[in-house]
Chain A
Amino acid sequence: MTSQQTIVDISQAEQGTSLWHDAWLRLRRNRLAVLGLVVLVLFTAIALLTPWIAPYSYQAQNLELGASPPSAAHWLGTDIFGRDLLTQIMYGGRISLAVGFVATSVALLIGVTWGAIAGYVGGRTDAVMMRLVDILYALPFMIFIVLLSVVFGRNMLLLFLAIGAVEWLTMARIMRGQVQSLRQQEFVEAAISLGLSPATLIRRHLVPNALGPIIVYTTLTIPNVMLLEAFLSFLGLGIQPPQTSWGLLISYGAETMEEYPWLLIFPGLALAITLFSLNFLGDGLRDALDVRGAKD
């Protein structure tokens, strides 16, 4: 850094390497993480385009065909009603991925805000806010879901909310810890002495610096949530027919796995590949965002 040329406008200055950019460069060197990212992007794209690219219509049945193994006409075979399994998995993926991303976003939004406020304000506010988190933690999750579905009936929105309502707790704790340690840093004091309002301070100075661990935790939360959904659907508490999800498909597949193993194998594979990809990406992000590994 010895360039001394005088510039007259900031747009002429060379753009520096931000820590985000630096982390991205490191992530790109991690093959597994990149593979995970590519798979996720692919699956997401397929899920978005499903109504247009699915080989068969979602409702199309062929009772005469029944359950048939993979063939040229039905790549992944058909179920006992003669429905194309690939089409089922594609539509199921829409629901599973949506639950994963939406519920995690809900958790992220609530958790980050809640944790940042508790950590920044501190004192009694912090104590009350975190005790509430502790209480929610202590609620048995299954009973919570069963209660919700009894009271409100079964619908997907409720499922999103219920899962989000559980997953934000850890997020809030992580965020609070981050903010508490950042608060001690001199740049936060500097921001206070400039006269910044607490809201601006949290938004501009605290959240961006606390985001590293949060992002990592997010990528590890999505598979958690998807598993939860699969688990709930498997138990019959989640997604209801005629809608379908990977969890539901696995549940049906498991019933008939001795006669028609492909009905279990393919939905299971779709879920497993997605979870692996998310975990690889999460690991890669953790390494890439780890400041100890970064220069300086």
Chain B
Amino acid sequence: MSLLEVQNLEVSFVTRNGTNKAVDGISFSVDTGKITAIIGESGSGKSVACYSLLGLVPRPPGRIDGGRALFEGRDLLQLEERQLREIRGRDIAMIFQDPMTCLNPYMTIGKQLMEPLRYHRKVSREAARARALELLEEVGIRDPASTIDNFPHQFSGGMRQRVMIAMALINEPKLLIADEPTTALDVTIQAQILKLIAELQHKRDIGVIFISHDLAVVADIADTIVVMKQGKVVETGDRAAIFQHARDPYTKKLLAAIPTDSKPPQALQPEPLITVRNLCTWFDQGRGSEPVKAVNDVSFDIHRGEVLGLVGESGSGKSTIGRSILRLVPVTSGNVNFDGTDLTALQGRELKQMRRRMQMIFQDPFASLNPRMTVYDTLAEPLLLHRIENRKTVGQAVLKLMDDVGLARAFVRKYPHEFSGGQRQRIAIGRALATRPEFVVADEPVSALDVTIQAQILDLMQALGREYGLTMLFVSHDLAVVRHLADRIMVLYHGEVVEQGSGEELFTHPQQAYTRQLLQSIPGRSLLA
């Protein structure tokens, strides 16, 4: 018998605008010693389904309409809050997405680790502390004896996630629910955490539910994969079956969305459009302390018509390079030459003239559009500002731009909040391309989007890149995406370039240890050709 058997679970939310069925009759099971991955886009109901098992969906507005969830023979959905509380944290534990917000910043991690133990098992303080030390050691915290009395802010994101895992495991649960536990982490850290979860699960012989939006993440660790879409399970199967013989069209779409190819090499134009020499961007930390060297002595060229991929983990300075070139952050020293003009020396009118020729696409389409402006206002603004169109002709130009980025013309007078993430990113791309720039910095343009939408936006960017003859600096933490899109890749580490080369070179013959580590961290490496 399975550890957890969910049958026909139905959960809905009652809101002012009617009832919304979030989970629509799903069934799945989790076995002891196995990892079951639940995959789906945002809004597919994957998290709601798991949260409702533990009574963690607020009711109202949530409502469980039916189904059963048998955990060791007991139906979780029928239990009272008091009984559920006993199971939560003792028999079933959870790991959440964001380790930054899930730890209490005013309690040492030791106290937080001991809390569930003292609450559920009533053990002595000394025994609890010993157990906490043991677990910290097990999840790979270096020197637990001296760090156990530290506060959460003294740990990095990856280390905090390890602490969270230790906290989840401290009561020896039989089932672990991990809700996107690596989404907020860097690629290399993600790989370590995935490995840790797989190891611990194997060693302790527990069942794991791994919730993720990304098939690639679970490609190496899941035993069973459940694919969800709009509250329903569309396909269930073991890993091999899903990856090799997916039957459902949606699963196939998800698989196709994982970029696995490398951009075919093309001859570079001899003349670079942009030359960056000895660029330094330091941020002052106030009097007395050392400045943060976000970008430190970086030199490179971008050739006309080329897509240069810039990869690195968070804090490596990759976004700052893009912003420095565009003069969105003040440059400390060095120079940036754009088609014969030194950008770092420009001021006022001259700078405004140049801004027309270089634009930026931002990461978060929810933050990068002014919520008070319609699509029309957003797209017309650059056209009117740079006098590319006048008041009479701008309407037609805006509609043409919407055609280009694949937005229905009928939406022209809608506001950003009326669009989905993918559509918003299309608007943002339209705004960036409105002035017909030669050069575009794309800063993680797809990392906030669902996987299938990601693929569409990448396709759009590729097509527009060709149509507009764009030169692009593509900043991303996702090597697979960069390899798919970029002609050359530059690897950044702590504000310095460690390696650059074509995607093919870098993937087959990485020269630097850090590059090799990055490559090994790509989730679902086995899928890459």
Contacts and interface: CB of A to CB of B under 8 A. Distances in A.
Interface string B409-423: 111111101110000
A205 B373 CA distance: 9
Contacts of B382: 194
A16 B367 contact: no
B413 A187 contact: no
A193 B361 CA distance: 10
A13 B372 contact: no
Contact of A195 (B370, B376, B386): B386
A194 B358 CA distance: 9
Interface residues of B, number: 44
Interface stretch (B74-82, B206-214, B349-357): B349-357
B328 A16 contact: no
A195 B431 CA distance: 13
Interface string B358-385: 1110111001111111101000011001
B460 interface: no
B428 interface: yes
Given A3-B408, A186-B363, A10 B370 contact: no
B328 A7 contact: no
Contacts of B418: 1, 16-17
Contacts of A205: 370
Contacts of B356: 195
A186 B351 contact: no
Interface string B477-505: 00000000000000000000000000000
Contacts of A4: 408, 410
Given A9-B395, A193-B326, A296 B428 contact: no
A290 interface: no
B243 to A, nearest CB: 32
A294 to B, nearest CB: 8
Interface in A187-209: 187, 189-196, 204-205, 208-209
Interface in A41-80: none
Nearest to A10: B395
A13 B413 contact: yes
Most buried by B among A3, A18, A19, A192: A18
Contacts of B414: 1, 14, 16
B42 to A, nearest CB: 12
B356 to A, nearest CB: 7
A192 B355 CA distance: 9
A292 interface: no
B410 A14 contact: yes
A19 B363 contact: no
Contacts of A124: none
Nearest to A9: B395
Q: Which of B395, B417, B428 has the most CB of A within 10 A?
A: B417
B355 A190 contact: no
B376 A10 contact: yes
A146 to B, nearest CB: 43
A189 B327 CA distance: 11
B381 A186 contact: no
B370 A295 contact: no
B192 to A, nearest CB: 30
A194 B385 contact: yes
Interface in A1-47: 1, 3-10, 13-20
B371 A186 contact: no
Given A13-B412, A208-B372, A195 B417 contact: no
Contacts of A1: 408, 411, 414, 418-419
Given A14-B410, A19-B372, A195-B386, A189 B395 contact: no
A192 B368 CA distance: 12
A116 B428 CA distance: 25
Contact of A185 (B352, B367, B373, B398): B367
Given A18-B372, A209-B371, A10 B398 contact: yes
A48 to B, nearest CB: 31
A192 B410 contact: no
B519 to A, nearest CB: 30
Given A10-B399, A190-B362, A195-B356, A16 B381 contact: no
Contacts of A16: 374, 411, 413-415, 418
A195 B435 CA distance: 11
Given A10-B376, A13-B410, A209-B370, A194 B355 contact: yes
A11 to B, nearest CB: 8
A19 B381 CA distance: 19
B328 A193 contact: yes
Contact of A15 (B352, B368, B413): B413
A187 B409 contact: no
Contacts of B371: 19, 187, 209
Interface in A239-260: none
Contact of B417 (A13, A186, A208, A295): A295
Interface in A158-206: 185-187, 189-196, 204-205
Contact of A193 (B359, B376, B408): B359
A9 B376 CA distance: 12
Interface in B113-146: none
6 contacts: A1-B408, A9-B395, A15-B413, A185-B367, A194-B431, A195-B385
Given A10-B399, A187-B371, A196-B385, 12 more contacts: A1-B411, A10-B398, A16-B413, A16-B414, A17-B415, A186-B362, A189-B362, A190-B368, A194-B381, A195-B352, A195-B385, A294-B417
3 pairs of A and B residues whose beta carbons are closest in the complex? A16-B414, A195-B355, A186-B368
Interface of B: 323, 326, 328, 351-352, 355-356, 358-360, 362-364, 367-374, 376, 381-382, 385-386, 395, 398-399, 408-415, 417-419, 428, 431-432, 435
